[in-house]
């Protein structure tokens, strides 16, 4: 009976965690289909002049590159786990 090494399991778990973390962060900050933003724009209105004006406030909005980075990290860790699993199998 083949057993999966602790390293392989750790790599797989980390891959899933990275993917979920990136996805969770992206969803939690508004599922923004653009680039990451480190400030949010809030539109305000000046009653007297009638001017609409944007006010920038600090705020993190994860963009698609966060999602892609999480995916890429998950694929890399998943690939590494496959390699470690094969080596162990060959050695056995």
Partner 1 sequence: MKTTSLRSSLQLAVALSATALTAHAASQSFDFKDPKGVNNVQFKLDAPLESITGTGTGISGTVSFDRAAPESVSGRLVLDTASLTVGNPLMGEHLRGANWLDVAKYPAIVFEAVKIAHVRTQGAQVVGDVTGRLTVKGVTKDVTVPVTFTLLADKLGARLGNDKLKGDLLVLRANFEINRNDYDLMAGQVTDKVAEIIHLSLSIAGAAPRA
| Nearest CB to partner 1, comparing residues 53 and 79 | 53
Distance of closest approach, residue 64 Cβ to partner 1, in angstroms: 7
| Nearest CB to partner 1, comparing residues 5 and 36 | 36
Distance of closest approach, residue 37 Cβ to partner 1, in angstroms: 3
**Alpha-carbon distance 8 to 1, whole Å?**
16
Q: At what angle do helices 6-28 and 64-91 cross, to 10 degrees?
A: 170
Distance of closest approach, residue 11 Cβ to partner 1, in angstroms: 30
Applying the rule CB under 8 A, the residues between 5 and 64 that interact with partner 1 are 33-41, 46, 48-56, 61, 63-64
> Which of these, 32, 19, 33, 17, lies nearest to 69 by C-alpha position?
19
Q: What is the CA radius of gyration of the chain?
A: 22
For the chain, the distance separating the N- and C-terminal CA atoms, rounded to the nearest angstrom, is: 11
Residues that bind partner 1 (CB under 8 A): 33-41, 46, 48-56, 61, 63-64
């Amino acid at each position: 009976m083949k057993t999966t090494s602790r390293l392989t399991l750790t790599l797989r778990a980390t891959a899933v965690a990275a993917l979920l973390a990136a996805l969770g962060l992206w969803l939690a900050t508004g599922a923004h289909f653009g680039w990451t933003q480190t400030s949010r724009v809030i539109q305000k209105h000046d009653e007297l002049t009638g001017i609409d004006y944007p006010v920038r406030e600090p705020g993190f909005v994860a963009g698609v590159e966060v999602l892609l980075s999480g995916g890429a990290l998950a694929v890399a860790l998943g690939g590494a786990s496959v390699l470690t699993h094969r080596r162990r199998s060959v050695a056995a």
